Structure 1
Amino acid sequence: MVDAGPVKILVIKQTSLGDVLHATAILRSIRKAYPTAQLAFLTSTTAADILRYNPRIDELLLFDRYRVKRDWWRHPAWVLRHILETMQVVRREQYDLVVDLQGSWKTVIFLWAARARRRLVKGRWWFAEQFRQPQLHAIQEMEGVLGLAGIAPASRSLEIFVSDSERGAITTRLDELGLAGRKLALFSPMTRWQTKNWPLENFVSLAGKLPDDWFVVLTGSEAQRASLNALTECLSSGRAACLAGQLTLLEFSELVGRADLVVTGDSFPMHLAAAQDRPLVALFGPTDESRVGPLGIGTVVRADVECRRCYRRARCDRRCIEKITVDQVLAAVNRATT
């Protein structure tokens, strides 16, 4: 279907990091259907690196979504100017098809503003063709949006690309850690939701139960660095290191790609491990693995308790994630690595 459809296509997906990574599967489907199309992608500045080297995209457009969220009341003039400037960038082209895979107000303003012959949206917005089935997996729901344009799913595999710079940086890091002949276990214990965090002391216990030929690297954000450094100090000397806050997004992606094991919660590292087909143990609490979990890869672990998938960020009365035992996770690790 080379010349039978849209010539210029804009895809909109701003957050979160894992959801933007999910959208790379959708890009594969669009490219298969329209290999010669001019394909642009509008995302947030924080997610830009996920798509920076993606060969399926011709143009990457950026919107500083989180600064808008943070500064709308402190710097309203800047926020309004930034929104209008981004709209102008979007309106430079006459698109044949614009696809909003998010459907929030911070994305539909650009869907609405775009000069487009056809608009598709995930959600219920009156000015566009709509698809909304939140009970589906996130990737399947995005595929449903594409289906409105007759675009069939090509693959559900996720993609992220790095440069030689990131490869070289991680090679240097691993050499400095002295990992020669040892297996790399990557632990990313902390997520953005307190209710999705397995207790840190459990990660310490898990690391202590791994065979001696494993080396544990702890990763996270700069804000999480102090807590993760303290965790590292609880482990045997020469068996662990903390790289929290020390890696760019793409360096972190390269590190995940070299891991022999990834243990994490429902988070961006989980999706990165799935994208790179690494042995994965994903710990789930208040979120629904059938909607946001890895598709066809990895081992999902949740506590043997009645869980409502409450999606509460700050407090879960049942504290489901805390009831996952170290032995459960260790058994999952053994299955994932053998």
Structure 2
Amino acid sequence: MGRPARILVVAPSWIGDMLMAQPLLTRLAARGAEIDVLAPDWCAPLLGRMAEVRRVIASPFRHGDFAFAARRALGRDLAGAGYDEAVVLPNSWKSALVPFFARIPKRTGFTGEARIGLLNNRHRLDKAARPQLAQRYAQLADAPGALPPQSLPRPRLLSSPAQQQASKAALGLDPAAEPTIFCPGAEYGPAKRWPARHFAELARRLAADGGPIWLLGTAKDTTVGDEIAALSGGAARNLCGRTTLEQAIDLIACARQVVSNDSGLMHVTAALDRPLVALYGSSSPTYTPPLSPRARILSLDLPCSPCFQRECPLGHLKCLEDLAPEQVLITLGDLAHAQP
């Protein structure tokens, strides 16, 4: 019997997109493949919680970097790793360079930006047949032109009780807490962020039921976290910028419920199977929905949305301003009474 196939996956840069790629990894792993992932360093903690991933190879390239010589050098370094196939998820020309220079015999991806010479197992994208990003990534496990699978495996992240307790202890948090977690950030821009005063009002309403309310996000979200905490009268505790990604995963894993903008942490919550209310403004739940039966999507579906802009082009952000905390509270109540 021969050895398992060795596959190098060139990952996307966004945390949410990386989770949308996990159904692809699961499909490849189900065939016995050994999967290594070339990814930015900020995705490494996420990939370390995916059972399908054997090894993470740190990508030194930041978004927009061309770095032709460095990509050629990395490819040559990987040439002796014995990869049978590379699966390139980003559609850019430069993202296909490392597998090409690594001389990986089968190089799979969408045709993208004039990549005919770089990829030799090319897929064409049918957006109507595969409206979700996860479906598009998962297509790359099949032969070009194959029919889409009836269903996809869901993203799943690992978090043990011991890891959860260790993260709480490191942050000085109550080890018995089952918090409500708010994720008020969105890396893409303000048009994806529910207003701070709405989060604060929701925190005040939920505080009456008891149980802590924690705010999670990156260091960039510290200011909005402080604003929410202040407006809530102390009902919410700001942990934005205080946790590592691994700790954020573990805190979400023990959450009673989560309210999140369309963000990487929204997809983390879905992959941890926690009750989730996902708030959509400028983006589309058709393209990147939370892949969990325990998620509920709230979107006003205004005529101007989704616009996919970083800031509201009309200056009013009604898609999120008019999404009232009362609607979120009702949806959380529905979730609490739903079967797990």
Q: TM-score, normalised by structure 2?
A: 0.85
Do the aligned partners of residues 235 and 131 (structure 1) sit closer, same or farther apart at CA in structure 2, a change above 3 Å counting? same
Verify: 1:19 aligned to 2:26, yes or no.
no
Kindly state the Cα deviation for residue 225 of structure 1 after the two structures are TM-superposed. Answer: 1.2
1:184 alignment partner, one of 179, 191, 197: 179
Q: Bigger CA drift: 316-325 or 10-19?
A: 316-325
Verify: 1:271 aligned to 2:267, yes or no.
yes
Q: SS of the counterpart of 1:337?
A: helix
Do the aligned partners of residues 90 and 314 (structure 1) sit closer, same or farther apart at CA in structure 2, a change above 3 Å counting? farther
What is the rounded CA distance, in whole Å, between the counterparts of 2:263 and 2:230 in structure 1?
Answer: 24
Task: Write out per-residue CA displacement over residues 111-131 of structure 1, whole angstroms, 9 at most, x where no aligned residue.
Answer: 332312222103433132123
What is the rounded CA distance, in whole Å, between the counterparts of 2:303 and 2:325 in structure 1?
Answer: 19
**Aligned residue in 2 for 1:254:** 250
Verify: 1:29 aligned to 2:19, yes or no.
no
Verify: 1:126 aligned to 2:113, yes or no.
no
Kindly state the Cα deviation for residue 224 of structure 1 after the two structures are TM-superposed. Answer: 2.1
Q: Bigger CA drift: 189-198 or 159-168?
A: 159-168
What is the rounded CA distance, in whole Å, between the counterparts of 1:15 and 1:307 in structure 2?
Answer: 28
Do the aligned partners of residues 313 and 123 (structure 1) sit closer, same or farther apart at CA in structure 2, a change above 3 Å counting? farther
What is the rounded CA distance, in whole Å, between the counterparts of 2:278 and 2:7 in structure 1?
Answer: 35
Q: Bigger CA drift: 322-331 or 307-316?
A: 307-316
**Aligned residue in 2 for 1:223:** 220
What is the rounded CA distance, in whole Å, between the counterparts of 1:63 and 1:165 in structure 2?
Answer: 30
**Aligned residue in 2 for 1:117:** 105
Given that 1:185 and 1:216 are in contact with CA atoms closer than 8 Å, whether structure 2 keeps it comes out as yes
Q: SS of the counterpart of 2:141?
A: helix
1:235 alignment partner, one of 232, 245, 251: 232
Kindly state the Cα deviation for residue 303 of structure 1 after the two structures are TM-superposed. Answer: 1.7
What is the rounded CA distance, in whole Å, between the counterparts of 1:151 and 1:90 in structure 2?
Answer: 33
Q: Bigger CA drift: 278-287 or 149-158?
A: 149-158
- Write the mapping of 1:108-187 to structure 2, written as runs, cut at 5 A: 108-124=96-112, 125-127=115-117, 128=119, 129-135=122-128, 136-148=131-143, 155-162=152-159, 166-172=163-169, 176-178=172-174, 180=176, 183-187=178-182
What is the rounded CA distance, in whole Å, between the counterparts of 2:137 and 2:308 in structure 1?
Answer: 20
What is the rounded CA distance, in whole Å, between the counterparts of 2:123 and 2:72 in structure 1?
Answer: 25
Structure 2 residue identity aligned to 1:245? G
Structure 2 residue identity aligned to 1:274? A
Q: Bigger CA drift: 21-30 or 91-100?
A: 91-100
Task: Write out per-residue CA displacement over residues 65-93 of structure 1, whole angstroms, 9 at most, x where no aligned residue.
Answer: 32x647x7xxxxxx555433322233223
Do the aligned partners of residues 190 and 329 (structure 1) sit closer, same or farther apart at CA in structure 2, a change above 3 Å counting? same
Structure 2 residue identity aligned to 1:148? A
What is the rounded CA distance, in whole Å, between the counterparts of 1:151 and 1:258 in structure 2?
Answer: 38
**Aligned residue in 2 for 1:324:** 323
Q: Give the fraction of aligned pairs with identical amino acids, expressed as a percent.
A: 24
What is the rounded CA distance, in whole Å, between the counterparts of 1:151 and 1:259 in structure 2?
Answer: 38
Unaligned runs of 5+ in 2: none
Structure 1 residue identity aligned to 2:22? T
Verify: 1:86 aligned to 2:82, yes or no.
no
Q: SS of the counterpart of 2:306?
A: coil
Return the structure number with greater helix share. 1
Kindly state the Cα deviation for residue 38 of structure 1 after the two structures are TM-superposed. Answer: 3.4
Q: SS of the counterpart of 1:61?
A: strand
Kindly state the Cα deviation for residue 258 of structure 1 after the two structures are TM-superposed. Answer: 0.7
Given that 1:21 and 1:160 are in contact with CA atoms closer than 8 Å, whether structure 2 keeps it comes out as no
Given that 1:42 and 1:60 are in contact with CA atoms closer than 8 Å, whether structure 2 keeps it comes out as yes
Q: Bigger CA drift: 13-22 or 79-88?
A: 79-88
Q: SS of the counterpart of 1:331?
A: helix
Do the aligned partners of residues 80 and 334 (structure 1) sit closer, same or farther apart at CA in structure 2, a change above 3 Å counting? same
1:309 alignment partner, one of 290, 306, 311: 306
**Aligned residue in 1 for 2:7:** 9
Kindly state the Cα deviation for residue 186 of structure 1 after the two structures are TM-superposed. Answer: 0.3
What is the rounded CA distance, in whole Å, between the counterparts of 2:231 and 2:224 in structure 1?
Answer: 11
Q: SS of the counterpart of 1:29?
A: helix
Q: SS of the counterpart of 1:336?
A: helix
Given that 2:194 and 2:261 are in contact with CA atoms closer than 8 Å, whether structure 1 keeps it comes out as yes
Kindly state the Cα deviation for residue 171 of structure 1 after the two structures are TM-superposed. Answer: 3.0
Verify: 1:212 aligned to 2:195, yes or no.
no
Structure 1 residue identity aligned to 2:9? V
Verify: 1:45 aligned to 2:41, yes or no.
yes
Kindly state the Cα deviation for residue 198 of structure 1 after the two structures are TM-superposed. Answer: 0.8
Given that 1:183 and 1:213 are in contact with CA atoms closer than 8 Å, whether structure 2 keeps it comes out as no
Given that 1:189 and 1:265 are in contact with CA atoms closer than 8 Å, whether structure 2 keeps it comes out as yes
What is the rounded CA distance, in whole Å, between the counterparts of 2:104 and 2:4 in structure 1?
Answer: 11
**Aligned residue in 1 for 2:88:** 100
Task: Write out per-residue CA displacement over residues 207-237 of structure 1, whole angstroms, 9 at most, x where no aligned residue.
Answer: 1121331321011211321331232122244
Q: Bigger CA drift: 249-258 or 91-100?
A: 91-100
